[in-house]
Amino acid sequence: MRVDVLVVGAGFSGSVVAERLASHGRKVLIIDKRPHIGGNAYDKTDEQGILIHPYGPHIFHTNGMRIARYLSQFTEWRPYEHRVRAKVADRFVPIPINIETVNQVYGLSLTEQTIGAFFESVREPREVIRTSEDVVLNAVGRDLYEKFFRGYTRKQWGLDPSELAASVAARIPVRTNHDDRYFTDAFQHMPLDGYTAMFQRMLDHRNIRFEGGVDFFAMRQQIRASHIVYTGPIDAYFDFCFGRLPYRSIQFEHEYLPDKGQYQEVGTVNYPNDQAFTRITEFRHLTGQWHRGTSIVREYPCDEGDPYYPVPRPENEALFKRYEALARDATEATFVGRLAQYRYYNMDQCVGAALKAAENVLARLGLDDVRPAHESTPRVRVTHVAAPDHARHDTPPPPAVRPGIA
């Protein structure tokens, strides 16, 4: 196959670009050094037949209806609103902090009318919000900061909140109502058959070839493509010429608990203080799959290992800007995604960035051989690998839905 574009990385960013380019008549080779598609959002059935997320829990949520509409071509959805508890002083209380959290932690009976005055009495106002510490102290004061944020953040990043950009803690709102959902986005659904099935459909196109277990840097010299779309760590592309950009990693400890109907009340429990891990997620809540046992994952953040998180702080942003300047001049390649743009992107933000990147690549390569959509290969619906009999749903799963997307 003649290749117009080489896409490096088959996660959300690379797969969306590959699909868009292929649908516009471009021949795409997409490679990943891992043996599978999906990047960090890859899911698979474990030995017991339970659908798990090997690289940690992935919950899809977005306010971008264009993004939801785009992905809906490749999946049906199952409604899911994620809820999280934090273990604080031997209680499991809701996070993000809301009225219930404060009432349970302090034994109070605050209401929507009185919670504002409570936060006002405990907060440490900051004139300038620069760091994650500023964000939390400014909103809820020192005691709640220490109970919920300080220890968790130190474990997650190996840094104190005072050393991290405000944007990190700002991901977690503080609520003056009873809403205990982790996200409030308009669209909160999981791909019905899982992420990998969705990626299979996205990449099932005669103009796309996927090769797994291939490291870009081992085949860089042999590439014959008009353009490269690179979604790996940006510093690696430029041979670390300005030094290494820090990326935080995680070790995942997966466990199957036989004969345990349900391990915990909600999808995720955060452990801000005592344990070495940050959180435990039980997959059945996310996937809706019921089984006589249950599968969970514990997350142990670390420096070494696959790069998962850019580390948002000013010195890293300054170093990234130097690489970004090189990327702007590297006309042979387009850089997109969480690792290549060094942005703490959620999945939907990767889709948004990738749709935009694909438009830029098409504009650069020219649109002269665009084929209308109806001429592209019909998409075969690849169903998820069936779970063995013992793993089948023993209570009916919620119905599949195609949410009303305007």
Contacts to ligand UDP by CB under 6 A: 86, 95, 148-149, 152-153, 156, 168-169, 171-172, 270, 272
Contact, 126 vs 138, CB < 8 A?
yes
Interaction residues for ligand FAD, span 154-213 (CB under 6 A): none
Q: Would you list the DSSP string of 360-393? A: HHHHHH-STT---GGGSPPPP-PPPPPPPGGGS-
Taking the CB of residue 295, how many other CB atoms lie within 10 A of it?
Answer: 26
Q: Please give the structure tokens belonging to residue 260.
A: 């345990």
Q: Which does 345 bind (CB under 5 to 8 A by kind): ligand UDP, ligand FAD, none?
A: ligand FAD
Tell the smallest beta-carbon distance from residue 203 to ligand UDP (Å): 26
Tell the smallest beta-carbon distance from residue 169 to ligand UDP (Å): 5
Query: Out of 208, 350, 361, 362, which residue is the one contacting ligand FAD (CB under 6 A)?
Result: 350
Question: What is the bridge-based pairing of β-strands 227-230 and 44-45?
Answer: unpaired
Alpha-carbon distance of 246 to 342, in angstroms, equals 10
| Residue 11 contacts ligand FAD per CB under 6 A | yes
Beta bridge partners of 209: 29
Contact, 61 vs 185, CB < 8 A?
yes
Q: Please give the structure tokens belonging to residue 307.
A: 């790069």
Q: Which does 310 bind (CB under 5 to 8 A by kind): ligand UDP, ligand FAD, none?
A: none
Q: Which residues contact 28 (CB under 8 A, 6 or more apart)?
A: 3, 4, 5, 6, 7, 18, 21, 22, 207, 208, 209
Residue nearer to ligand FAD on the CB measure, 145 or 271:
271
Residue nearer to ligand UDP on the CB measure, 156 or 200:
156
Q: Which does 4 bind (CB under 5 to 8 A by kind): ligand UDP, ligand FAD, none?
A: none
Tell the smallest beta-carbon distance from residue 265 to ligand UDP (Å): 16
Q: Which does 198 bind (CB under 5 to 8 A by kind): ligand UDP, ligand FAD, none?
A: none
Provide the binding-site residues for ligand FAD, judged by CB under 6 A: 8-14, 31-34, 39-41, 56-59, 215-217, 231-232, 250, 308, 337-339, 345-348, 350
